[in-house]
Structure 1
């Protein structure tokens, strides 16, 4: 689950997103100031929009940390608006520091590398197309389930026949200010450790 708020850009609406869906295949149900968004085919909840959000929350940032306290506050707002849903939320960070343990060339693509990346609690395989990725780097990893600032959801994938579980990110992909325009992942300094949350 990721939570966004941008009053200047979209108005006084708190956006709660679990995953992306096809806008033509969704159902929207209104409960007071809340719109519940569901996939028509799977009946899976994709997210919620809470309108007049500043009446319910103290909001001063675009991307909001999801904490147990925030989950309780959201559920309370649900109940005040006649919605009886509860939130089952994975509170583990979706953007973390990774350490590239190994890098090998992709067998089917000259410009891709197959990396083994320590993300703290596990080592994952990530196929990366950045020219500057290398063994021994600390990098930023968007784990499976992360929602990028662009709105893209990170999923398990197969790139040219090789499984990939996450994405090694550039500064531009992370939406960082003054990000360089040239292609390349964001290489961090040595004062970080694998698995450490990275604020996005």
Structure 2
């Protein structure tokens, strides 16, 4: 679940992205300051838009992907119930853009530029991530955007399939992370070996 807020460009609207709609048609039902977005085909809820959200949750800090406190999530669910919706939302406070370790890397069987990695992201959790960077290799410390992450440019990371192989995240370049003085040369950002796997990686002026 992704909580996103950008008061400067979108207004006082909290966007709660629940799932990837994969480009399918959807319908929007609004009650008061709450709009529910669901798929036309099966009714699955994929997002919520909460308008004038600061009047409900108080002042919200940050821009882009944000974290809500437990108290704010409780107030959000109270607002959903008050406006007549039966669903609830939950918070996930674990970082989504973290330091990872590439445990293994092999060539994709159906591509001359993709590689299939097994990348540890925290506490022994290993994600299969397909990567197109020319400098990817086993033994690197890297930055991983896990499923449910929102990149600085607004791109949302979901599980996907690349040339028939499942991929659960993205190994990031300095440019994708919008780091200052990011090199123009294509390739993932390589971190010092003493970087701690699982720690949140700072993106811009906030932690992911």
TM-score by length of 1: 0.84
> SS at the partner of 1:72?
helix
- Describe how 1:63-82 pairs up with structure 2 within 5 A: 63-82=65-84
Q: Which residue of 2 aligns with 1:169?
A: 172
The equivalences for 1:177-188 within 5 A come to 177-188=180-191
- Helix, strand or coil: the match of 1:187? coil
Matched, 1:105 2:111: no
Offset, 1:6: 1.0
Q: CA deviation at 1:66?
A: 4.1
Give the secondary structure class of the aligned counterpart of 1:110. coil
Q: Which residue of 2 aligns with 1:85?
A: 87
> How big is the shift at 1:178?
4.7
Q: Which residue of 1 aligns with 2:204?
A: none
Q: Residue by residue, what CA displacement relative to the aligned partner does 1:83-132 show, whole Å, maximum 9, x if unpaired?
A: 34312455543322210112223333222222221112322222211112
Residue of structure 2 in register with 1:151 after alignment: 155
Q: Closer, same or farther in 2 for the Cα pair 1:162/1:81, shift >3 Å?
A: closer
Measured on the aligned residues, the alpha-carbon RMSD in Å equals: 2.4
Residues 35-55 of structure 1: per-residue CA shift (max 9 Å, x gap): 111111121111111111221
Q: Distance in 2 between matches of 1:161 and 1:84?
A: 38
Cα distance in structure 2, aligned partners of 1:178 and 1:107: 35
Unmatched tracts of structure 2, length 5 or more: 202-206
Q: Which residue in 2 is equivalent to 1:160?
A: 163
Q: 1:2 — aligned with what?
A: 2
CA distance in 2, matches of 1:87, 1:38: 14
CA pair 13-177 structure 1, distance change in 2 beyond 3 A: farther
Distance 2:143 2:27 in 1: 35
- Equivalent residue for 1:60? 61
Q: Is the 8 A contact 1:156 1:164 kept in 2?
A: yes
**8 Å CA contact 2:67, 2:93 repeated in 1:** no
Counterpart-to-counterpart distance in 1, 2:110 and 2:22: 31
